[in-house]
Amino acid sequence: MDTTVTEVAPDVYRLSTYVPDADFQFNQYLVAGAEPLLFHTGPRAMFPLVAEAVARVLPVEELRWITFGHVEADECGSMNAWLAAAPRAEVAHGAMGCVVQVGDLADRPPRPLADGEVIDVGDRRLRHIDTPHVPHGWDAGVLFEETTGTLLCGDLFTAFGAGPAVTEADVVGPALQAEDLFRATCLTPGTAPAIRALADLRPATLGLMHGPAFAGDCEQALRDLADAYDERLGAEGMRMHGAVPPPAGG
């Protein structure tokens, strides 16, 4: 395995490791600046690969912010390795997640972020947006880089395959195929509205964690994804109330 590095927006780098056995990509995003920020750490076993990829862009010890979408191994498993490698780094995460998870898990006290709070890394500004349980995890959130319009959307649009670093091809269809297999999204009445609120940001680029960076019509893709989740939620409700039979084999 190796890790590719692609600048998907000015100062925003996608680090991507494809794992053939799983037919799955694991991406991190590095935002360069006076206070460099990493979004997703990768799991612990992937730390050497990701650290080498970061080092192609800037010295690892200069990292200032370690961030992620929610607490899971691929999102933040190696956070303490990064804290050890970068002496001035702090883990920054949503305030709720710091209380219930990261305050205990991280080797140094985390910096809690309020909903809407901005981390100014120099020329780039990353706004933290709480998205509890979207796509999953009480502590879930995304980062929106305001100057380039890049939405670091984590597990939203998760798909299989190697794929290109950047695409304008459909990302909704592949995401729904993976969703119907994984059932990874927490389907609630709040899921689609939270995704539509992200569409209202009108991002120029979506930074997927498991897929390409999407440079097509991001607002429409988010609205289509939200509509598809609403449809699935409605179908689940119909089944629960016995209005329709369960799916074959399910």
Binding site for Fe ion (CB under 5 A): 72, 74, 155, 209
Closer of 11 and 74 to Fe ion (Cβ): 74
Q: What is the spatial distance between Cα 204 and Cα 154, in angstroms, rounded to a whole number?
A: 16
For residue 245, the minimal CB distance to Fe ion (Å) is: 31
* Cα distance between residue 166 and residue 211, in whole Å: 9
Nearer to Fe ion, 33 or 134 (CB): 134
**Minimal distance, residue 78 CB to Fe ion, in Å:** 13
CB 111, CB 125: distance < 8 Å:
no
Q: Characterize 110-124 residue by residue with b for buried, 16 or more Cβ atoms within 10 angstroms of its Cβ, and e for exposed.
A: bbbbeeebebebeeb
CB under 8 Å, gap of 24 or more: what pairs does 187-190 form?
Answer: 187/229, 187/232, 187/233, 187/236, 188/133, 188/233, 189/233, 190/133, 190/134
In angstroms, the Cα distances linking 49 to 2, 46, 169 are 7, 5, 28
Answer whether 151's CB lies under 8 Å from 69's CB.
Answer: no
Measured from the CB atom, the residue of 90 and 155 that comes closer to Fe ion is: 155
Phi, psi for residue 81 in degrees, rounded to 5: -65, -40
Give me the least distance between CB of 59 and Fe ion, in Å please.
26
Rounded to whole angstroms, the Cα distance separating 173 from 170 reads: 6
The distance of closest approach from Cβ of residue 122 to Fe ion in the complex, given in angstroms and rounded to an integer, is: 27
Of residues 136 and 232, the one with the C-beta less far from Fe ion: 136
CB of 222 vs Fe ion, minimal distance in Å? 18
Residue 86 φ/ψ, nearest 5 degrees: -125, 100
CB nearer Fe ion, residue 74 or residue 90: 74
* Closer Cβ to Fe ion, 133 or 196, answer by number: 133
**Least distance to Fe ion, CB of residue 72, Å:** 4
